[in-house]
Amino acid sequence: MNGEGGPAGGLREESDPALAERIDRVLDDYVGGSIVGAVVTVARDGKIAYRRAAGHADRESGRAMTADTPFRLASVTKPYVTVAALALVDRGILELDAPISRWLPAFRPRHDGAEATITLRHLLSHTSGLGYGFFQKADGPYLAAGISDGIDRPGFDLAENLRRLAGVPLNFAPGSAWLYSLATDVLGAVLEAATGRPLAEVVRDQVTGPLGLTGTGFHAAEPDALATAYADAPGGPARMDDPHAVPFGEGGAIRFAPSRAGDPAAYPSGGAGMVGTPGDFLALLEALRTGGAPVLRPETVAALTTNTVGTMAEQGIGAGWGFGLGVAVLVDPAAAATPQAAGTWRWGGVYGHNWFVDPAAGLVVTTFTNTAVSGMNGPVREAVRDAVYGAG
C-alpha cells in the first residue's frame, strides 16, 4: 500500500455550488469540534459534485487533512473482502450456500450443544450466529476467550482467533436472526483456504488490482502518513493511546490498537484490517453502482444490495433497514426517517467513517474522519446526508 489513492477514482469534477455551500456549513460546524479531520466526497451520476478535506490529519503536529490522506478503514474493509468473495462465487470457486466447513474443516462452532452449519451466505448476511466482543460487557464470553475483534494487536494469528471463536457457543442458530459480527474475518479465512493464497493477495487480484486502486491494502508501508486516530472524550476528541478502549453500547468497549496498521506481522482481518484512501473507496462504490464491472456481474451486485433478511436487521440497524450480502439496505424510507430512496445501501467503520449509495439518485457519498466513533454514527452522519439532499 503506497499511500496514494488517486483522484477519487478518476471521476470528472462537476461542482455544485449550492451543494458545496450546504456541506461546507456542516463541516465548519463539526470539524474542529467533535471531529478532528474529515474528507467528504459526493459523486452524482459518475461525476464529482463535491469534495473537501477539512481539519487535521494530525492535530498535534498541525498536519492538514488532504483528499488523498490514507485512513485506517475498520469496517470499510468489509466491502473489499465481500466483493472479493462474490468475485470468487462468480468464478465458481466458492458457493453461497455451501457449508464453510468445506474450506475450514476445523471451524465448527456449536449452538444448543450441537454442531451448527454455517454457509457463505450466512457469513455475508451476518446471520451466522457469530458476534463481536465490543457488543459484550467486560465479563462477556468473547473477552473471556480472548477473541480479537480485528482492530487490536492480540499477539496471535487468524487461525488461533478462529479456534477461540469456534469454542464459544453461537448466539443463535444460523439463519434465524441477524447480528453484526466477526463473520467477515471468518470469510477472509475461507478466501485464503479456497485459493491457497494470503487474503491480501486475493483482495488485490479480485478487487483493487482490476480497479487500479493503489492506495488500499492490509499494511501501511508508511504508517506516519495515515490520519492519526482520535477518540471521543468528554473534553473533545483525544489522541488515541495504543491500546485504547472506547466505550460502546451497553457496557461494551471497542478496543483499538492504532499501531496494528503498521505491523506487517498482524493477521489480515477481513472485517477491519485494511488501510486506504477515500478516492479508492469511492471508485469501488462507483463500480458497484454502475453494475460491477470489472469485478462483479450485475446479477451479483443486485444480490449484494438486495435485502435478504426480512426485518431481522431492524433491531441492530433501525426501523426501515434490511441487510443484503454485506451492506445495509433501505427498505422503507418513511420508517427510517431518511430522505434517501428505497434501495439505498450503506455502512461505516468504527475509526470514524460512514458512506452510502443511493442508486435512484445516482449518488455515492463518503465521509472519512479520524474520530471514533462520532465520525461513524454521530450527528455528523445525518447532517452530511441531509445536506446532500437539501433536507432539514
Q: Can you give the pLDDT at residue 9?
A: 54
What local confidence, expressed as pLDDT, does residue 251 receive? 86
Q: What is the mean pLDDT of residues 230-246?
A: 97
Cα separation, 64 vs 53, whole angstroms: 8
What pLDDT, on the 0 to 100 scale, is given for residue 8?
A: 54
Query: Is 81-204 the same fold as 8-74+211-235+266-389?
Result: yes
Q: Given this structure, which CATH class describes domain 8-74+211-235+266-389?
A: alpha beta
CA neighbor of 269 nearest in space, from 76, 58, 113? 76
Confidence of residue 132 (pLDDT cuts 50, 70, 90): very high
Residue 112 makes CB contacts below 8 A (sequence gap 6+) with 169, 173
Q: How many CB atoms lie within 10 A of CB 64?
A: 13
Nearest alpha carbon to residue 388 among 324, 344, 326, 329: 344
Residues tagged active-site: 75
Domain boundaries, the chain: 8-74+211-235+266-389, 81-204
Q: Are strands 371-372 and 230-231 parallel, antiparallel or unpaired?
A: parallel
Estimate the share of the chain in helix, then strand, then coil, as percent rounded to the nearest 5.
35, 20, 45
pLDDT per residue over 85-131, tens digit each?
999 999 999 999 999 999 999 999 999 999 999 999 999 999 999 99
Q: Which residues contact 68 (CB under 8 A, 6 or more apart)?
A: 3, 4, 5, 6, 215, 277, 278, 279
Residue 371, burial from CB neighbour count under 10 angstroms (0-12, 13-18, 19+): buried
Cell of 183: 463473520
**DSSP codes, 236-279:** S-EE--SSEEEEETTTEEEEE-GGGGG-TTS---TTT--EE-HH
Helices and strands (DSSP H and E) totals, the chain: 14, 18
Residue 65 · residue 39 · CB < 8 Å: yes
CA atoms 270, 302, 212, 75: torsion sign = negative
Per-residue pLDDT reduced to its tens digit, 342-374: 999 999 999 999 999 999 999 999 999 999 999
The residue ranking higher by pLDDT, 98 or 2, is 98
Residue 10 · residue 283 · CB < 8 Å: yes
Question: For 150-171, how does the pLDDT look when each residue is reduced to its tens digit (9 = 90+)?
Answer: 999 999 999 999 999 999 999 9
Dihedral over Cα of 264, 156, 280, 54: its sign: negative
Q: Distance of CA 142 to CAs 137, 165, 188, 324, Å?
A: 9, 7, 19, 26
First to last CA, the chain: 40
For residue 117, give the amino acid letter.
Answer: T
Is residue 326 within 8 A of residue 207, CB to CB? The reply is no
Of how many residues is the chain composed?
A: 392
* CA–CA gap between residue 371 and residue 373 (Å, rounded): 6
Edge-to-edge strands of the sheet including 371-372? 238-239, 230-231, 371-372
For residue 4, what pLDDT band results from cuts at 50, 70 and 90? Answer: very low
What's the whole-number mean pLDDT along residues 74-80?
Answer: 98
Report the CATH architecture of 81-204: 3-Layer(aba) Sandwich (3.40)
- Comparing C-alpha atoms, which of 169, 199, 167, 172 is closest to residue 103? 199
Q: What digits encode the pLDDT tens for the residues 256-281?
A: 999 999 999 999 999 999 999 999 99
Question: How far apart (Å, rounded) are the C-alpha atoms in residues 44 and 298?
Answer: 20
DSSP state at residue 45: T
The label of the residue with cell 447532517 reads 383
